[in-house]
Structure 1
């Protein structure tokens, strides 16, 4: 019943807030009559908040969903997936290092549409305090924290994917609003994200009193998880560790027992390890069945099973619990979003595995990475061992790293994050974050990746492009440049 209520409310929201349009950022102006009629009661604020979450789940205008973009932006330039024969041309161009401004994978419209929903709530929800005496400041604060965090999450994806993007924090609500704005720098965007998250942290709830809501809605722990990720990207390691510790010391999360690693987290969803995940269900299925089952556009790279997890040929029963039958299958299928158990595959109508954005193991390994950069190598190794033990990582993947060997620790953590978080949209961002640290002191991380995973005939071309840091970001989609004359193409694509 709850989900039926959500989608009925979504219909109201889409009529009252904004719908898709052809202008850049997909922002459609509201007129004053709509605003006066809608922003009157606490129920309408709740409906607007539900609309923000529903927009995260999918679009109503045939645009690529946010979850699909999160997967593609985070994986397709990495080394853990390979295109199958049914991959579309735009995907093949990315893999081949031939990315142009006309590539539809650079279309950010669904992100900005959801950002505009958040901007609209942030702008108008406070007015309801004057019109609805039953609407309390504490309720408003909680909704604002959710909207600020969702907006920050989406901008974090945009800044890691494009580096410089328009930073729009006011809603498009009338024809007079300025929406053709220039890009902001990465530093400006990160600064804004962190400021918004500090505000959200003060207002966010710890619990909604409901298990599913605690996993599917923003809590203070969601804010802390995003803070940790952003601080690590910004090379602010002390604050990254502090944000991780807020989650670790809360006692609200833990690593799911080894035997339940797959079933609890990816089949059932909302496990004790989960911090924030998109709640797909039978009424709103995820986009992954078509990607991994029907057409199998993407497969796991053979290197994942053979080199990242490895295989114990002397004892087939001894295997990493996260490998065959969990993250992937030996035939290359990406299994986290397809499997009902180690053998049975979901049907298309059962394709509602959640999209996990943050979970406890991710936070532990983010902390380990920050510790490795601040003299805490011994503790970092303890964390790695904790995650490895839970996953029954094979001895062949163990590394005898000196706690003071920062470079060795960096590589070891990257390897363990690949095993633990395979196909969760993390890999490219992990590689890029570590490569660009200290003014690209570890560019070799990206070069080594290309040597192993690039198509042989394209390898040297891709390596040459990776030597230019501007190539690490996608181009601004051509239609945005046509409709917004204040936008300037990302430098690598001006040639």
Structure 2
């Protein structure tokens, strides 16, 4: 990917700009060639991991690709409607999302990140000025970051993990070296990518800090949660559960405030989500101050920051009970005009980011799902009740008895709870992928997106082909790499 490799050079300049902003000592600049900053000291590699480009990214098409969304009358308008032409094509589940002249996409952003992680992995142990323990911890953070990047790459460009076919299903190239001159790339298999994630995280976990002290940096609990999630996507529930539980068990020892919000408290007087601004919504605008963010890897959530071309669908809105405090993160009124959306649709507001790293409610819900899948239905139902008590009234919190006593029904209920929790964030598209290989749950996946006018009339309908659960590489990537096979 020649253009990808060229884009890596841009990241080097961004990372070095981060060093300058972080207040590097003068001698660090004086001993390097003109125009180039070379990391040599352990502290230099530490600063690399603080780069904002590693934990914030702009391109994330799955936000508009889940079956929980619909299009408004402004969908085809760039500006206050859709964010970009690419988002319009992603919403339509088009084969090619990005136009030929686009040179930035998810893969470019992620490859820039993995370059930095690979550089740290390869070099930090030979750096000067730090102890072996410090160097090992930094390497472990980079291994965790690389595993996270590979998780997203596999879930963008590879088929959903299926143990029967993963060894042959092509995914993304596996970027393992920091080499900007590399121009030949081969797609790894889905199995190879998942095996690398598991290996990186198993190596990292014992070397990472035992407590969460900074949500933009990796910790042992965050890496355990990420490995647990990897196992969930591999349908290895028994391997996932203890890792996910290790994360939640660690929350009480964190040195920062991290855990579940009680929405009842936070939407009351003096709550952290208050006041609710009449234009921007609840006060939840900064990921680094979000108690539920344990490992910050955030996508910009433009459809909760003014744009209203993509909404939650009427069917999604109907999943919430009237007592659900999460409804306050959606507005039934159009941006600026004050008109109500038809058919119960709502736009997101008040939270301008979607954390795709480690989020506390995600892990709590995955724990309940693992227990249900392992036949621990009573424990799973109790976990869901306790979780819902932080979101809905005590009357609405319990799982219906008929559901709680049926494993398949309970898993479906948990998957619905995940929609209620993560609507319009991209998480539903990831869930759609992983359950698509399971006959019991694949039927719950929707394959239709509709666009509605101001009166609730459907003006356009788009149907997802099964192969579009896997993205194609963008045209600019294929033009630069004609020997690279693309997805159908």
Say whether the fold is shared (TM-score over 0.5).
yes
1:274 aligns to what? Answer: 293
Q: CA deviation at 1:486?
A: 3.6
1:78 aligns to what? Answer: 67
CA distance in 2, matches of 1:115, 1:288: 22
CA distance in 2, matches of 1:9, 1:99: 33
CA distance in 2, matches of 1:415, 1:330: 21
Is the 8 Å Cα contact of residues 322 and 420 (structure 1) preserved in structure 2?
yes
2:139 aligns to what? Answer: 144
Is the 8 Å Cα contact of residues 228 and 240 (structure 1) preserved in structure 2?
yes
1:92 pairs with 2:88: yes
Gaps of 5+ in 2: 1-12, 22-31, 159-170, 253-257, 274-283, 334-345, 453-457
1:328 aligns to what? Answer: 330
RMSD: 3.3
CA distance in 2, matches of 1:445, 1:484: 37
Whose RCO is larger (CA < 8 A, sep 6+)? 2
* SS state at 2:423 partner: coil
Cα–Cα, structure 1 residues 230 and 453, in superposed 2: closer, same or farther, change >3 Å?
farther
CA distance in 2, matches of 1:111, 1:43: 24
Alignment of 1:420-459 (within 5 A): 420-437=421-438, 440-446=439-445, 449-450=446-447
2:218 aligns to what? Answer: 218
Q: CA deviation at 1:398?
A: 5.1
Q: CA deviation at 1:188?
A: 0.6
CA distance in 1, matches of 2:20, 2:450: 43
CA distance in 2, matches of 1:241, 1:216: 24
1:11 aligns to what? Answer: 17
Q: CA deviation at 1:454?
A: 7.9
* SS state at 1:165 partner: strand
| 1:175-227 residue CA offsets vs partner (Å, 9 max, x unmatched) | 4xx3421101111100100110111101111247x5xx2x2211111101211
Q: CA deviation at 1:374?
A: 1.2
Q: CA deviation at 1:354?
A: 7.6
CA distance in 2, matches of 1:328, 1:385: 23
Q: CA deviation at 1:172?
A: 0.9
Q: CA deviation at 1:451?
A: 5.3
Cα–Cα, structure 1 residues 412 and 200, in superposed 2: closer, same or farther, change >3 Å?
same
Q: CA deviation at 1:436?
A: 1.6
Q: Which of 160, 183, 197 lines up with 1:193 in the alignment? A: 197
Q: CA deviation at 1:118?
A: 0.9
Is the 8 Å Cα contact of residues 9 and 50 (structure 1) preserved in structure 2?
no
Is the 8 Å Cα contact of residues 159 and 186 (structure 1) preserved in structure 2?
yes
Q: CA deviation at 1:337?
A: 1.7
CA distance in 2, matches of 1:479, 1:119: 24
**Greater mean deviation of Cα atoms: 389-398 or 179-188:** 389-398
Cα–Cα, structure 1 residues 242 and 453, in superposed 2: closer, same or farther, change >3 Å?
farther
* SS state at 1:184 partner: strand
* SS state at 1:50 partner: coil
1:378 aligns to what? Answer: 378
| 1:150-180 residue CA offsets vs partner (Å, 9 max, x unmatched) | 111111111111111000111115x4xx342
CA distance in 2, matches of 1:454, 1:483: 35
Q: CA deviation at 1:287?
A: 4.0
* SS state at 2:364 partner: helix
Cα–Cα, structure 1 residues 254 and 294, in superposed 2: closer, same or farther, change >3 Å?
closer
The structure with the largest helix share of the pair is 1
Q: CA deviation at 1:406?
A: 2.7
Q: CA deviation at 1:45?
A: 1.7
Alignment of 1:10-409 (within 5 A): 10-11=16-17, 13=19, 38-51=38-51, 53-57=52-56, 66=57, 68-70=58-60, 72-82=61-71, 84-85=74-75, 86=77, 87=82, 88-100=84-96, 102-103=98-99, 107-128=106-127, 132=128, 134-163=129-158, 164-173=171-180, 175=181, 178-207=182-211, 210=213, 213=214, 215-252=215-252, 254-261=259-266, 264=272, 266-267=284-285, 270-278=289-297, 287-288=300-301, 291-305=303-317, 307-311=318-322, 319-323=323-327, 325=328, 327-331=329-333, 332-337=346-351, 355=355, 357-392=357-392, 395=396, 399-403=400-404, 405-409=406-410
1:462 aligns to what? Answer: 463
**Greater mean deviation of Cα atoms: 160-169 or 33-42:** 33-42
Cα–Cα, structure 1 residues 384 and 452, in superposed 2: closer, same or farther, change >3 Å?
farther
CA distance in 2, matches of 1:488, 1:102: 17
| 1:131-157 residue CA offsets vs partner (Å, 9 max, x unmatched) | x2x311111111112111111111111
Is the 8 Å Cα contact of residues 55 and 216 (structure 2) preserved in structure 1?
no
Q: CA deviation at 1:43?
A: 2.5
2:485 aligns to what? Answer: 488
* SS state at 2:332 partner: coil
